[in-house]
Amino acid sequence: MRPRALVRRFPLVSYFVLAYAVSAVALAVLGPPSLAPGGRRNLASLAMFPVMVVVVGLVGVALTGVVEGRRGLRELGSRWRWRVGLRWYAAAVLIPPAAILLVLTVLRLLLSPAFAPGFDLFGIAAGAVAGFCEEWGWTGFAYPRMAVRLGPLGGAVVLGVLWGIWHLPVVDSLGAASPHGPAWPEFFLAFVALVAGLRVLIAWVYTSTGSVLLAQVMHASSTGFLVILSAERVSPYQESAWYALDAAVLWMVVALVVLGGGLRRASAVERRPVEA
């Protein structure tokens, strides 16, 4: 079977093979995380992470063209909708930093001033690049197909876990306490739980509005504020703990969304046959 025909027959499998191939290349370049204490941040990850986020978005756009042609590309562009109502912009922008500030404030008051939020404006650039680029792949291509197969909620949960694992090569360079050394497993699990919860909320704003732009905004807000507000004086284990608590808060919001009727129907999910 020719590659083009193979992609058309198995679009989801093709997407994840290519997305994880990029992740595998990054892991080969950066090497596995060290569990030894001490060490320095791997500066090469500052170059590899933008490559990963740009490529995974380009893969989504390219596969849309291969599978559906120009019609599909026009339809994908039509989902970059900005007229969706201010309440959805508020949800997309404010939920991630609100969860972060809640967790860090409580930990600062109850445990240690080391949990005081920081202020790093580099997060604006990091959030904008990650949010704008990645969501053409995760939301624009993968999620609608997964939602048709697994349902809006199930598709979001599975995609969220896969998305978190995709970050493995660079996750040890995220956060203010990196590298995490012996705390890396705890930090990685907390990170995956956090982004999986975020992915469900991104799916919620997307299925409610049909807007890839809103998915990009929420992703950018989360990534950006994780950098901007990240507590700068915490230890690796403390950082793992506050990421885990932030994940718990996001999953509580998910529970409220689901109980309130969100993500029960894929009203804005594309009308495509499921091909995996």
Kindly report the CA angle at 162 between 95 and 60, in degrees rounded to 5? Answer: 85
| Res 274: pLDDT | 41
Residue-wise pLDDT tens digits, 57-87? 999 999 999 999 999 999 999 999 999 999 9
pLDDT band for position 40 (cuts 50, 70, 90):
confident
| Res 1: pLDDT | 65
Residue-wise pLDDT tens digits, 231-252? 999 999 999 999 999 999 999 9
| Res 271: pLDDT | 43
The whole model's pTM is what?
A: 0.93
Cis ω for the linkage preceding 169 (within 30 of 0): no
pLDDT band for position 4 (cuts 50, 70, 90):
confident
- Model confidence at 267: pLDDT above 80: no
**Over the chain, what is the mean pLDDT?**
93
